Each structure stands twice: as C-alpha cells, then as structure tokens.
Amino acid sequence: MIRGVISVVLSLALLSGCSWFGDKDNSEPPAKLKKFDEQVRLDELWSRDTGVGTDGQRVKLVPAVQGDRVYTVDRKGRASAYKLDDGKLIWRSKTGVQVSAGPGVDEGLVLLGTSDARVLALDAKNGKLLWTSQVSSEVLSVPQRYEGVIIVQTVDGNLTGLKADSGKRIWVHDRTVPVLSLRGTSTPLITDGVVLAGFASGKMVALDARSGRQLWEAVIAVPSGRSELQRMVDVDADPVVRDDVLYVVSFQGQLAAVSLQNGRLLWSRDMSAYAGMAVDFQQVYVTDELSNVWALDRRTGASLWKNSDLQRRALTGPVVAEGYVAVGDFEGYVHLLSLIDGAISGRQRVDRAGILEPPVALDDRLLVLGAGGELVMYRLSPVE
C-alpha cells in the first residue's frame, strides 16, 4: 500500500513538474505554443463521445483498431465498438468496473484490465462479457493475446499467462519491484511466440508465451545514486521491434537496441523517457521526460534532430504518420513534426482534457482518443 501511494505521488510530480517539498512551485512552466509554418492540416472525418475517458486518472486507455472496427473503453467500464470508416456505433457494453488499462483486441476478444486486479474478456462481436479472471494487483498495461494465451502485466512486477477461453491461470513470472517507481507499466510486446516485457528494475525479459519460461534477460539501465528517487530506472515506455531488433528506453537510464534472438546489447545511449517511442525504416523517435522529441539513427543511436519547442507539455509517445511524427499534449493538442528536421508542421486541438496516449496512425489518417473521452478520426492533408 505504501509503495502504491508513493508511486502515484511520484508520477503526478514528474508529469506536472511540481515541487516535491513546500507549497512554492519553482518549476518552469510548460512551453507556450508558437506560430509555425503550416505544411499539413488535420481534417476531421468523424468524432464520437466515448464516455468519461480517464475521469482524471493516470490510466492507460487506448483506442484499439482491429479490422474495420475501433474499440474503446472509459474509466467507468463503458466499452464500445465503432465502424472505422464513419465512426458509427456498433455496440456498447456497461461493465460497471473501474478500468485501468485497455482495450486489447485480438482473435475475437476485447480485453480490459481493472484497478481491483481483474481481467475481463468481452466478445468483440457484441460486447458480451465472456469471463473475468483475478490477477495479483492493479493492471496498468494493456492485456495482450497470443494464440490461446492472454498475457497480463501487473504493477507488483508479475507477468501472468491466462487461458484465452476461460481466463484460468497457466503461468506466472514474478519480479521484485523497487520501493519507488513511476505509476505505470509498459505493455508487453509479443512477437513469434516470445513475450518481451520491461520492469521497474531497468531490465527486459523474453519469455515463451505458452509456458512462461524465461529465454533471456537484458539490463537496459543500472540504478545509480544515493536516494531511491535517483535510482529509479523504470521501463514504462512500450518497447518496439523492427527487423529482429528490440528498441527500449528507461526512465533516468538508457535507450538501447537489443538483439531479439539473445538479448545482446547492440548499442545504447543516455536517455530518460517514459512516454513512448516509434521506429521507422531508418530512425528511432522518442519523447524524453522533458517532452523533447528526438530522432536517432536506427543503426547507431546517434542524434539526427531534437525538437524542444514543446518542453514540459507532457507529450505522449510519438507515432509516424504519413511523413510526420505525431504527438499529443496535456492541453489536448496534436502536433505534427517533420520527419526530416523535427520542425512543427501542423497542429489541431482534440480534447481540452488532454491527450495521454499516442494517436493511432492509419496510412493518411490519424485516430486520436482524448483523456475526456473524445474520439476523433482525422485525415492528413497537405496545405496548398
């Protein structure tokens, strides 16, 4: 319980830039938005109100696209399915639980994680509840599915494998959690039957999805410093795989490229981040803890450009969308940055409650879910 309270307070302090001690806030304010040379517009195609959104909580609620549908859930457990082309509502299910992560969608299931340590599986066709499974603690990462196994990571350091047809537990991989950590958990990545998961210890592990057997472990960041705060090296940003290379970043640690085959470190560089990253055919993009957006060489980690115009605006992780890098901020704006030099090229306000999770790129379209529950589909159009 003590650790949970500390995690919440620490997360809020880091995200807001507030002073830790005393009433006076000596932190620098978020950067003001500047005029820019508009190169691309975000033209709205449709929008929908999905509910209360995060309801003011720091939880991982994301839009999930599967086939011709998009699925959402709000903090109060209202799950919905919409048509991807026009946003028409297909079904809505009121689960009545406090959802803290989701939805994860695959092979006919809509998966939700809750604050009271449960995983819910809904039928993707109609939203009907199929089963509920108890896990070891709050779920702050999106549940994932690989064939007949559901993979869930909880805030106490456990990875759990559940049967997809019943929610029955198959295996558990247990990890020790530091006294202090950020409030959050990176979502495990599953590729070719291998689960890749990051932990608050600064380590990545690879497990067999069916059995939970550990295949390898990689140290991304080593805790250093005299205080528990200085020693925090959480891996909270979702890892990314491209061409058999795993890219991962930690808070107060390193951004690293790791061999997917054996966990061998290919390169690393100093970086502190927790919001997220993206990778294209030649560059790695990352939002650091101060909301600088970086582009790095995929082969070496060398810096190619850095955008500091949006500092302290609590940016989301980046996504690559039709020749631009898209990020959301705490005031609900989506910013489009040039892939070439990082210059701001477009901007659109989506939800005044803010944007906590990265948009979803769909060719020349961008799907954005705001913290207030506003779901909007945009088309990227060049400015004539």
Task: Assess whether pLDDT exceeds 60 at residue 15.
Answer: no
CATH assignment of 59-183? 2.40.128.630
pLDDT (0 to 100) of residue 26: 55
Structure tokens at 66: 């599967």
Cα distances (angstroms) measured from residue 107 to each of 54, 164, 282, 335: 26, 10, 31, 33
Structure tokens at 105: 């969608």
Q: How far apart are the first and last CA of the chain?
A: 56
Rounded to an integer, what distance in angstroms lies between the CA atom of residue 201 and that of residue 210?
A: 24
The pLDDT tens digits of the residues spanning 26-52 come to 578 999 999 999 999 999 999 999 999
Lowest average pLDDT, out of 117-126, 144-153, 227-236, 334-343, goes to 227-236
Rounded to an integer, what distance in angstroms lies between the CA atom of residue 203 and that of residue 258?
A: 12
pLDDT (0 to 100) of residue 225: 78
Pick from 364, 365, 336: nearest CA to 349: 336
Q: How confident is the model at residue 264 (pLDDT cuts 50, 70, 90)?
A: very high
Residues of the chain by 3-state class (helix, strand, coil), percent to 5:
5, 45, 50
Pick from 83, 95, 9: nearest CA to 51: 95
The pLDDT tens digits of the residues spanning 107-144 come to 899 999 999 999 999 999 999 999 999 999 999 999 99
Rounded to an integer, what distance in angstroms lies between the CA atom of residue 75 and that of residue 106?
A: 21
Q: What type of residue sits at position 381?
A: S
Cα distances (angstroms) measured from residue 2 to each of 128, 153, 174, 181, 184: 37, 20, 20, 12, 16
Cα distances (angstroms) measured from residue 312 to each of 32, 316, 382: 10, 11, 28
Structure tokens at 376: 């909007």
Question: Tokens 């903090």, residue?
Answer: 75
The domain spans of the chain are 59-183
Q: What is the average per-residue pLDDT within 306-334?
A: 98
Q: How confident is the model at residue 180 (pLDDT cuts 50, 70, 90)?
A: low
Structure tokens at 291: 């909301």
Q: For the residues of 59-103, what is the DSSP string, one character each?
A: -EE--EEETTEEEEE-TT-EEEEEETTT--EEEEEE--S-EEEEE
Which residues are CB-contacts of 76 (< 8 A; sequence separation ≥ 6)?
51, 52, 55, 96, 98, 99
Rounded to an integer, what distance in angstroms lies between the CA atom of residue 164 and that of residue 151?
A: 9
4 φ, ψ (degrees, to nearest 5): -60, -40
Peptide bond into 143 cis (omega under 30): no
Pick from 50, 54, 62, 52: nearest CA to 15: 54
The pLDDT tens digits of the residues spanning 209-230 come to 999 999 999 999 888 877 888 7
Cβ 361 vs Cβ 347: under 8 Å: no
Q: Of how many residues is the chain composed?
A: 384
What SS3 state is found at 310? coil
Rounded to an integer, what distance in angstroms lies between the CA atom of residue 249 and that of residue 267?
A: 12
Task: Assess whether pLDDT exceeds 50 at residue 9.
Answer: no
Element (H, E) at 11: helix 2-16
pLDDT (0 to 100) of residue 217: 96
